Chains A and B, each alone.
Chain A
């Protein structure tokens, strides 16, 4: 439990470093293919994860779709770096997945973190 709490805090501390410039949004291949749904972009995924970790959002189909459809291609990180921030966005999303996957795999009905 302590490990999960620590991972949760690490993730939140990383996510709040995002300055919300949103330059990564257009660069995301899943955002382009979804015709402009922001939760399908890097920025949208970070915010979804943030509010999930804070307990504001529940883990429903749309959130699972958003987080597990990330290609982990790091296109967003190239943009983030070019804007002087260099967040490891894909690692943050992957860590978020690892918190969720243990629960989803066990089929727990409440997969909130």
Chain B
């Protein structure tokens, strides 16, 4: 709780500056946002696009940045704290974090596999979206969550104009935060907003028969599902997750708090209050591994926050996209 005001002030300022300077919340310019799609040959233009908003790709950077802040926080006076937050938030692209993030191979691989799996599943369902590669913008979700209203309106307008310039009519979001922004928040700021937005699980659930046919997967383990709060309570995507899993031959086990009553993983506040976030994730992970040690999530923020217990507790935390990657290995491998 100490120094919260200074911490939030600095985080807000840096976020605003980063977005203005680079269009990226972490202030990164040249990174590997598009590496995961290498060899996929996704069309660069099209009326239906896959929108990652860099959420899966940012996972190693988010981990390094929050680690840095939480390590130094207890030892710092206010002035020093500001400096660390500035380094952590504004210049996640600084060499030390960049190198460390690139070294975080496990989490980077998880992100890449998830996205490749999602694309393979969409293709198996007969959906072949375009991907804007380097031109893909960030959704602006952090600006919105932190209440930077003076900035969010103009930012949303810019993203909308960019999408229109590329002829986009339909967006398939790969994570719930982006789906929520584009589906619910953007129309509040853009008059006559006319882009159709769906989360990929909605699309897959509409085409589950095709997915089932393409699948060559015999699951050996049982999995417990951790629903994302936004996915269920904001987007109403509950049964679609179960339907799609059953197309892969997986009957998901339900923890005590599930579906509309799911419990947050603590991820949304990790940027500033890592210790509180960790207490929340510790409570949730206990509920989940009380059911089974194989956990499935459907959001990159949940994936970061829960997968950090993998080694400590001997668990496996997989994203739905990673399951698709395994289930559609032939298709996924051919696009690696």
Contacts and interface: CB of A to CB of B under 8 A. Distances in A.
A69 B12 contact: no
A87 interface: no
A62 to B, nearest CB: 6
B88 interface: no
A107 B229 contact: no
A89 B85 CA distance: 29
Tell me if A's interface is mostly helix, strand, loop or mixed. Answer: helix
Contact of B149 (A69, A74, A102): A102
A62 B4 contact: yes
A10 interface: no
Nearest to B234: A74
6 contacts: A71-B280, A75-B261, A77-B233, A95-B147, A104-B5, A105-B148
A105 B273 contact: no
Interface string B186-228: 0000000000000000000000000000000000000000000
Contact of B13 (A61, A105, A111): A105
A98 B150 CA distance: 9
A73 B268 contact: yes
B8 interface: yes
Interface residues of B, number: 34
Contacts of B150: 102
Interface in A24-56: 29-30, 32-34
Tell me if B's interface is mostly helix, strand, loop or mixed. Answer: helix
Given A33-B280, A100-B147, A78 B269 contact: no
Interface residues of A, number: 34
Contacts of B279: 33-34
Contact of A105 (B16, B233, B266): B16
Interface string B229-265: 1100110000000000000000000000000110110
Given A68-B272, A98-B148, A102-B149, A59 B5 contact: yes
B186 to A, nearest CB: 16
Contact of A61 (B1, B149, B272): B1
A104 B233 contact: no
B12 A105 contact: yes
